[in-house]
Structure 1
Amino acid sequence: MSFDSLGLSKPLLHAIEKAGYNSPSPIQEKTIPLILEGHDMLASAQTGTGKTAGFTLPLLQILSQGKQLRRRPVRALILTPTRELAAQIQENVDKYSQFLHLSSAVIFGGVNQNPQIKALRSGVDVLTATPGRLLDLVNQGFLKLDQVEILVLDEADRMLDMGFLRDIRKVLALLPDKRQNLLFSATFSKEIKALAGGFMHKPKLVEVNPENTTVEKIDQRVIRVDKGKKPGLTVKLISEGDWQQVLVFTRTKHGANRLAEKMNKSGITAAPIHGNKSQGARTKALAGFKDGSIRVLVATDIAARGLDIPLLPHVINFELPNVPEDYVHRIGRTGRAGASGEALSLVSVDELEYLRDIEKLIGLKLDSEELDGFEPVDEPDPKEAKKPRGRSSRPRGKSPRGRGGSGGKGPGRKR
């Protein structure tokens, strides 16, 4: 199938061709015609499937064919959880609207609001925003949303994980009743279905990846390791494998800082990326990672969600997430667009419960190995430990399990 068979206009087809794409991805084949027909849509797709172009392209076409208003009020609102994802979506909007008479802008927190206010005053057809900064500018009187024709909630599951449900409801209350609604989520959880049921009108359901499945062509491996030797093993794997682009996941911000510092001292250029970093530092780290000046990006789950890193070959779980679904999101950073990738998990004894939960979720027993000099010497697995003798002895408890923890790909396949 080609893009011109989806009903897209010549200016959009020209922009797609200029970007070097010649065939749509599965999510684009399904979403673009439905959006052009004006349907509300509830779509499930992992990052890296081309979903950003799946809503950006038809959205731009609808706006370009509608009535052009002189003052340019916001006619399409794309709401997304993180600054990085918002910036990447804006890049998509810019790229595909270059031959259309439409204006666009992106707003998010962590940076000076004045340039964003200036852009809004100039008139914006398509606005990409994170919830906090959006509501802040609305409350200051710099922005109105009463003429929005299309609403997109991207990475809706992550927005709920990050506690944005209340903000989403506030935004919905500011929008006109008559509009088209598009919701994209990695999974269709009960919470997502409840959210969609509250504001969507007979949405079309689109699923590309079945819920809780992992991306194909990812080589998933487990290395059993002593907890204190994880940093040294990570350095050894990256150095001896001569890996040039690696995304490493830690559970905490401080852990990300410590590991990045350890790598830099070992001669591996690395940068941490998490919520405590300024937007400038996060943007600089991501740019360095993409251009090769930084070999390793050490990230927490929330900071990494939505990062657009094409053809990423290696992902290391320095620590397993305590929410098994986050494992699926993590390893989905590699093996994109049909390319192969490797996801390596360093698992200490205290994480065996997390590993079992992950294997249960994905329906797969992961291959496990040990490396000389890094073997686990921790206390035995609590499940395998024998119960101590004596009446007063108590069985050893399981590892604690929390529910906390811890996200625009271009269209189709590139020539």
Structure 2
Amino acid sequence: MAQAGPSNLSKQKRSAKGKKHEVRSSKVKKVSELQTIEAVEQAAMQFEASTDLKAFADLPISNNTKRGLKKAFFVDMTDIQAKSLPVSLKGKDVLGAARTGSGKTLAFLIPVLEILYRRKWGPQDGLGALIISPTRELAVQIFDVLRSIGGYHSFSAGLVIGGKNLKDERERLSRMNILVATPGRLLQHMDQTIGFECDNLQMLVLDEADRILDMGFQRTLSALLSHLPKSRQTLLFSATQTESVADLARLSLKDPVYVGVKEADYESATPKSLEQHYVVCELDKKLDIVWSFIKSHLQSKTLVFMSSCKQVRFVFETFCKMHPGIPLLHLHGKQKQMTRLAMFQRFTSMKHAVLFATDIAARGLDFPSVDWVLQVDAPEDADTYIHRVGRTARYESAGKSLMLLLPSEEEGMKQALEKKNIIVQKIKIKASKTQSIENQLQNLAFQEPEIKYLGQRAFVSYVRSIYLHKDKSIFKVDQLPVERFAQSLGLPGMPKIKFLTKELAKKKKNAMRQGADAAQTNTETRGDRRGAEAVESDDESMSEHSSSEEEEATAQTKSAQAPDGADLANRVRTKYDRMFERKNQNILSEHYNKLVDHSADGDAPESDDEFITLKRADHDLPGDAALSESDFVSKRKLKMANSKKALGKYGPKGNKLVFDDEGRPHEVYEMQDADKVFRGVDEAMEEGRRFVEGERGKLKEADVVDKAEAKEKKREKKRKRKEREHEGAGLEDDDAYGPAIVPLPEDDGYVSPEFDLSSGPESDEEREQWQPPTKRAKVSAGKSRGPATDDLLQDEEELALQLLRSRR
């Protein structure tokens, strides 16, 4: 057996020492890493916040997070960060509240990274932190910040929002440690994605919780919380603290620590560096002001808020065709996800641009260097106003805002803002500096039907938004100049507003009912008084008094139901009107009196079994045969019986008829005359037979033509063959040494398989006398042709030999 040399032994020893050294170094690394993690955790638990805390480097956080913050140029903390981070790093639940633009994103992202780092979270541990955001754009922004500061950690992070491929998200979901998601798509994955589990969840973050609840995700959040483990840390951040947010905090937080920048610390809920103004203008002048504002601020970055998606699209499309001289963008919830992200990123990177947006861009989005926030439509409430103007004057930068209010909205909005300690100054815009664009919009609507259609939808959506707003002290739909507003959009006429028409009809009907109820009460009171007076009078005086009182009550009822001398013909008459205006109320009173037995009113004892005894009397009503259904049923009931609802419920009363070309009525499913039906069938069959006969005649004629052509070709072929034979026979008279020239056949090669016979008679007489040759005749003919063929071959061989000899 061969022994290893000294060089090989030394190499093996060195490799063994290297492996041992690597093992030792890895062990030392792990030990040092564990010691570092323990040191960071102890420092976080023992850390006490001081008033001088300003820099992120002073926090008890890991070096990986510090390096990420430094790389992303985050050095100093804001107030909400300085107050919330020392608490959240200890693992406590936090209820954070601060105005928009105060840096709440880092206030929950740093604890997410640190808690997972201190608990040695790895890929095999699954989902560790869940961050829920109300909108897709805000979720994308949070994810970008997470990637920028968490680059030195080894966690995997994912983004789950609506509008993307669900299948791709399912494949990656099980490998995520940190997940940023919107509520709807997250609940969809929890219900449908196999293998997506949140049993080991360590942290839950709810960003912009008030907006999540305002968007109608309250039930979704409740369902999400039921899927999550209770042993978790929860961070809830919101710009405004409402009752719904407090209810959510009670459900999701355990012994939370309230951390926030209270309004008492500031003069207003908005930054000091924000200049706030508002203008009172008519509804039909809004677009003129917006256009003039854009033309006078071409070197600014402006964010324009409107109340509906259809308004945003209409203004964007029309202004783009009018070319204001500055890039225009639009952002709303009806766009596809990729379009929304592209608009968000483009506006973020631009220096001068105008973005038309709905309130989807009012929460949490950080657009850098926004100079103006223009609110074309009034915000829903003071909180929405705070979030809108919060897109500018973020952190320590300055900004300006301008709000356009209708005369009917001014007082209510001022009161709502004063409750939040927000002071907005009123300014006026010179009419000479405002350019009217009504004619341009009319031309666009006339030339392009799509612009007209967008204008109609924008008109209806704006009126609907005013109608649906809760605060009726601000938004008064009945005071809107809708006709002038439609003209200002370039529309030829005011579109129909179905929901507004129904609401006005409903209010009118309720007012009529209230007036009718009041009239009925007055009439009943007078009837009681009239009955008391009639007791002391005889029958004659009672009847006269009753008739006079009835006429008086009828007149007073009409006056009560038609105030200010209104025309009764133009009013909607209710059943109460018909009841109190009826003058023949005692027509059947005698008939009903005969049915009642009045003998029980005397000395007869009362019976418990028979409270009222009916007595059949012999009587005949006059004109009994002439009475019809309409005499006993009111016109209103007849109309209701013929309504669509009644017909759909009980079926039609009569049969539907259809009319033929001659005007004769027929039932819809009437049986047809058998003779007519089958007679038409016979005619069709006869027509088919005629067609077949005609086609058969055409085929026969074509057959004759084809046979004639085949016969002609056969004759031509035979003639050419004979010519060749004659030329071959005359070859013997030619020079013996000359070349034999045989003409090429001119036959096109066509052979009819049906008509090209080998032999046969040419004329009709020959065809009659001709008989096919017998087999014996064919054999004898072949024998007779044999020697001639052999002689021809010999002659050709001799000619060939002579030619060869002559050439030698």
> Match of 2:459?
none
The aligned runs of 1:49-60 (5 Å cut-off) are: 49-60=102-113
Q: Which residue identity does 1:254 align to in structure 2?
A: K
> Match of 1:161?
214
> Match of 2:470?
403
SS in 2 for 1:21: coil
Contact 1:231–1:262 (Cα < 8 Å) also in 2 = no
The aligned runs of 1:10-409 (5 Å cut-off) are: 10-121=63-174, 123-142=175-194, 143-210=196-263, 213-267=269-323, 268-292=326-350, 295-363=353-421, 364-373=423-432, 402-403=469-470
SS in 1 for 2:409: helix
SS in 2 for 1:206: strand
- Name the one with the larger strand percent: 1
Q: Which residue identity does 1:333 align to in structure 2?
A: R
Aligned residues: 382
Contact 2:123–2:177 (Cα < 8 Å) also in 1 = no
The separation in 1 between residues aligned to 2:408 and 2:163, in whole angstroms, is 36
Describe the shift of the 1:241–1:296 C-alpha distance in structure 2 as closer, same or farther (beyond 3 A). closer
Provide, for residues 271-291 of structure 1, a one-character-per-residue CA deviation record: whole Å limited to 9, x for no partner.
221111111111111112112
Describe the shift of the 1:145–1:306 C-alpha distance in structure 2 as closer, same or farther (beyond 3 A). same
The separation in 2 between residues aligned to 1:195 and 1:207, in whole angstroms, is 17
Divergent runs of 4+, >4 A: none
Contact 2:362–2:384 (Cα < 8 Å) also in 1 = no
The separation in 2 between residues aligned to 1:200 and 1:370, in whole angstroms, is 50
Q: Which residue identity does 1:170 align to in structure 2?
A: A
The separation in 2 between residues aligned to 1:32 and 1:64, in whole angstroms, is 16
Contact 2:305–2:374 (Cα < 8 Å) also in 1 = yes
**Farther off after superposition, 265-274 or 159-168:** 265-274
Contact 2:123–2:155 (Cα < 8 Å) also in 1 = no
The separation in 2 between residues aligned to 1:244 and 1:291, in whole angstroms, is 13
Q: Which residue identity does 2:188 align to in structure 1?
A: D
Describe the shift of the 1:4–1:112 C-alpha distance in structure 2 as closer, same or farther (beyond 3 A). same
Contact 2:96–2:238 (Cα < 8 Å) also in 1 = yes
Q: Which residue identity does 2:57 align to in structure 1?
A: D
The separation in 2 between residues aligned to 1:294 and 1:358, in whole angstroms, is 33
Provide, for residues 152-205 of structure 1, a one-character-per-residue CA deviation record: whole Å limited to 9, x for no partner.
011000000001111111111111110101100111111111110112111010
Contact 1:244–1:292 (Cα < 8 Å) also in 2 = no
Provide, for residues 31-88 of structure 1, a one-character-per-residue CA deviation record: whole Å limited to 9, x for no partner.
1111111110000023321110111012101101213345241110001111111111
Q: Which residue identity does 2:187 align to in structure 1?
A: L
**Farther off after superposition, 65-74 or 18-27:** 65-74
Describe the shift of the 1:133–1:348 C-alpha distance in structure 2 as closer, same or farther (beyond 3 A). same
The separation in 2 between residues aligned to 1:30 and 1:293, in whole angstroms, is 34
The separation in 2 between residues aligned to 1:24 and 1:151, in whole angstroms, is 22
* TM-score, normalised via structure 2 length: 0.45
Shift of 1:209: 4.8
Describe the shift of the 1:120–1:365 C-alpha distance in structure 2 as closer, same or farther (beyond 3 A). closer
The separation in 1 between residues aligned to 2:253 and 2:170, in whole angstroms, is 30
Contact 1:151–1:180 (Cα < 8 Å) also in 2 = yes
Shift of 1:400: 6.2
Contact 1:235–1:266 (Cα < 8 Å) also in 2 = no
Contact 1:31–1:54 (Cα < 8 Å) also in 2 = yes
Greater RCO structure (CA 8 Å; 6+ sep): 1
> Match of 2:694?
none
Shift of 1:236: 1.6
Contact 2:127–2:179 (Cα < 8 Å) also in 1 = yes
Contact 2:362–2:387 (Cα < 8 Å) also in 1 = no
Q: Which residue identity does 1:106 align to in structure 2?
A: L
Contact 1:324–1:354 (Cα < 8 Å) also in 2 = no
The separation in 2 between residues aligned to 1:37 and 1:78, in whole angstroms, is 19
CA RMSD, 1 decimal: 2.2
The separation in 2 between residues aligned to 1:294 and 1:270, in whole angstroms, is 10
Shift of 1:293: 7.9
Shift of 1:294: 7.2
SS in 2 for 1:86: helix
**Farther off after superposition, 366-375 or 21-30:** 366-375
Describe the shift of the 1:335–1:365 C-alpha distance in structure 2 as closer, same or farther (beyond 3 A). closer
Q: Which residue identity does 1:132 align to in structure 2?
A: G
Please identify the structure whose Cα radius of gyration is greater.
2
SS in 2 for 1:98: coil
Seq. identity, %: 33
- Name the one with the larger helix percent: 2
The separation in 1 between residues aligned to 2:57 and 2:370, in whole angstroms, is 29
The separation in 1 between residues aligned to 2:60 and 2:261, in whole angstroms, is 21
Provide, for residues 216-256 of structure 1, a one-character-per-residue CA deviation record: whole Å limited to 9, x for no partner.
21111112223222222212212212243111000111111
The separation in 2 between residues aligned to 1:372 and 1:336, in whole angstroms, is 32
The separation in 1 between residues aligned to 2:255 and 2:88, in whole angstroms, is 13
Contact 1:359–1:366 (Cα < 8 Å) also in 2 = no
The separation in 2 between residues aligned to 1:266 and 1:210, in whole angstroms, is 44
Contact 2:280–2:410 (Cα < 8 Å) also in 1 = no
Contact 1:285–1:294 (Cα < 8 Å) also in 2 = no
Describe the shift of the 1:239–1:144 C-alpha distance in structure 2 as closer, same or farther (beyond 3 A). same
Shift of 1:354: 4.5
The separation in 1 between residues aligned to 2:108 and 2:330, in whole angstroms, is 31
Describe the shift of the 1:303–1:342 C-alpha distance in structure 2 as closer, same or farther (beyond 3 A). closer
Contact 2:96–2:260 (Cα < 8 Å) also in 1 = yes
Shift of 1:317: 0.5
Contact 1:72–1:124 (Cα < 8 Å) also in 2 = no
The separation in 1 between residues aligned to 2:417 and 2:425, in whole angstroms, is 7
SS in 2 for 1:89: helix
> Match of 2:679?
none
The separation in 1 between residues aligned to 2:424 and 2:303, in whole angstroms, is 23
Shift of 1:360: 2.5
The separation in 2 between residues aligned to 1:22 and 1:157, in whole angstroms, is 29
The separation in 1 between residues aligned to 2:276 and 2:467, in whole angstroms, is 25
Q: Which residue identity does 1:87 align to in structure 2?
A: V
Q: Which residue identity does 1:169 align to in structure 2?
A: S
Give ranges in structure 2 of 5+ residues lacking alignment: 1-53, 436-465, 475-808
